[in-house]
Amino acid sequence: MREQPLLFGEMKSLIGILADSPRTHPGPPRPAVILLNPGIVHRVGPGRIYVKIARILAETGFTVLRFDFSGIGDSAVRQDSLPFEKSAVSEAQEAMDFLQRAHNIDRFILMGGCSGAVISLEAALNDPRVIGAVLINFPFTQDQDENAPDLALRRAAHYYRNFALVNPRSWQKLCTGKANYRFLLRVMCSEVKRRVSFGPGASPESPLLHSLRCLADRGVRVTLVCSEGDPSLEELHDTVGKYLRQLSHCGSIAVSIVRRSDHTFTSLYDQEQLLELILERVQTMAQPVENLSNSREPLCTENIVLQEGLTRQSSL
Partner 1 sequence: MKSVKIPLPFHFGPAAQPLFGCYHEPDLARRRQCAVIICQPIGHEYINCHRALRQLAVRLAEVGFPVLRFDYYGCGDSSGNAEAGTIPRWLEDISEAIFQVKQRSKLDTVCIAGLRLGGALAAMLGAERGDIESMLLWDPVVDGKSYLEDLQLLQKEQMRSRPKPGRRERAQEHLEILGFPFTHALYSQVQEIKLRAITRRPAKNMFMIQSRTSDQGRGAELFNLTESNWEYQALPIPQIWLPTTNGSLLVPGQALQSIVSWTCRMHS
- The residues that touch partner 1, with contacts defined as CB under 8 A, are 3-7, 11-13, 15, 17, 39-44, 46-49, 51, 73-74, 76-77, 79, 146-149, 151-152, 155-156, 159-160, 163, 167, 180, 228-229, 260-262, 264-271
Q: What value, to the nearest 5°, has the Cα angle with vertex 284 and ends 279 and 285?
A: 100
- Distance in Å, CB of 13 to partner 1, minimum: 5
> Of the two residues 70 and 303, which places its CB atom closer to partner 1 in the complex?
70
Residue closer to partner 1 (CB basis): 12 or 25: 12
CA proximity to 98, closest of 26, 225, 6, 174: 6
| Amino acid letter, 21 | S
By the 10 Å C-beta count (0-12 exposed, 13-18 middle, 19+ buried), 81 is classed as: exposed
Give 231's contacts (C-beta < 8 A, 6+ positions apart).
144, 154, 155, 157, 158
Q: Are 89 and 51 in contact (CB under 8 A)?
A: no
- Helix ranges, 66-224 (H): 84-103, 115-126, 151-162, 168-175, 181-197, 207-218
Q: How far is the CB of 159 from partner 1 (least distance, A)?
A: 5
Quote the CA–CA distance of 76 and 79 in Å, as a whole number.
9
CB of 208 to partner 1, least distance (A): 22
**Closer residue to partner 1, CB minimum distance, 69 or 159:** 159
Minimum distance of partner 1 from residue 8's CB (angstroms): 11
Nearer to partner 1, 4 or 172 (CB): 4
CB of 244 to partner 1, least distance (A): 24
- Sheet of 14-20: strand order equals 2-8, 14-20, 64-67, 32-36, 108-113, 130-136, 221-227, 253-258, 305-306
CA of residue 20 relative to chain centroid, distance: 22
Distance CA 154, CA 162 (A): 12
By C-beta, is 162 or 246 nearer to partner 1?
A: 162
Taking the complex as a whole, the smallest distance from the CB of residue 267 to partner 1 amounts, in Å, to 6
Nearer to partner 1, 15 or 57 (CB): 15
Residues 6+ apart with CB under 8 A from 92: 34, 36, 110, 119, 120, 123, 127
Shortest Å distance, C-beta 41 to partner 1: 6
The burial of 264, by beta-carbon neighbours within 10 Å (0-12 exposed, 13-18 middle, 19 or more buried), is given as buried
- Cβ atoms of 282 and 62 within 8 Å: the answer is yes
- Smallest separation, CB 255 to partner 1 (Å): 19
Q: How far is the CB of 230 from partner 1 (least distance, A)?
A: 10
Nearer to partner 1, 30 or 43 (CB): 43
Nearer to partner 1, 141 or 303 (CB): 141
Nearer to partner 1, 132 or 231 (CB): 231
